[in-house]
């Protein structure tokens, strides 16, 4: 419980399928029951496709809120990154999945109420954001 009290932001990452959304809804209900501020919670839909059986409207109705961000499914690029230790920028420099992670890194600044470092219009990914957020600029 003390760990939750210290959070500025809680990202809940889920896939858009019924079992995962069921667990997501239960997690959100638990957080609400224990009094966790829901304005600190962001919902990320991972492995999103245009062919999901669950629509955006269904997701919103089922879990009680829309996804704050969607990360598209790109199994090929993701697999190559994980298997060969390459970055998405190296594997798929013009991909939707890379754009979504860059968007996530950018939104993190707003979500935690921090200004971007001067001259940093496009953050260098989540790792760069976290390093600057917690350890200051280099």
pLDDT-derived band of residue 48, with 50, 70 and 90 as boundaries?
A: very high
What is the pLDDT, as a whole number, of residue 116? 80
pTM of the model: 0.81
Phi, psi of 84, deg, nearest 5: -115, 5
| pLDDT of the residue at 135 | 58
Continuous H helices in 34-123: 56-63, 75-84, 88-91, 96-111
For residues 69-84, give the mean pLDDT. Answer: 95
Q: What pLDDT score does 118 carry?
A: 74
CA 122 to chain CA centroid, Å, is: 17
Residue 11 has pLDDT above 80, yes or no: yes
Residues whose CB falls within 8 Å of the CB of residue 93, separated by 6 or more in sequence, listed in order: none
- Tokens coding 55: 């629509």
Task: Give me the mean pLDDT over the 46-51 stretch.
Answer: 93
Say whether pLDDT at 27 is over 70. Answer: yes
**pLDDT, position 117:** 76
Task: Tell me which of 3.20.20.300, 1.10.1200.10, 3.30.930.10, 3.40.50.300 is the CATH number of domain 2-135.
Answer: 3.40.50.300
């Amino acid at each position: 419980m003390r760990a939750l009290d210290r959070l500025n932001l809680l990202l809940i990452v889920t896939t858009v399928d019924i079992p995962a959304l069921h667990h997501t809804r239960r997690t959100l209900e638990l957080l609400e029951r224990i009094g966790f501020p829901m304005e600190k919670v962001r919902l990320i839909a991972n492995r999103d496709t245009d062919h999901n059986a669950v629509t955006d409207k269904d997701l919103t109705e089922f879990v009680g809120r829309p996804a704050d961000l969607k990360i598209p499914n790109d199994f090929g690029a993701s697999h190559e990154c994980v298997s060969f230790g390459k970055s998405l920028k190296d594997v798929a420099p013009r991909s939707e999945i890379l754009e979504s992670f860059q968007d996530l890194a950018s939104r993190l600044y707003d979500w935690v109420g921090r200004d971007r470092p001067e001259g940093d219009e496009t953050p260098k990914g989540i790792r760069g954001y976290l390093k600057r957020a917690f350890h200051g600029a280099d």
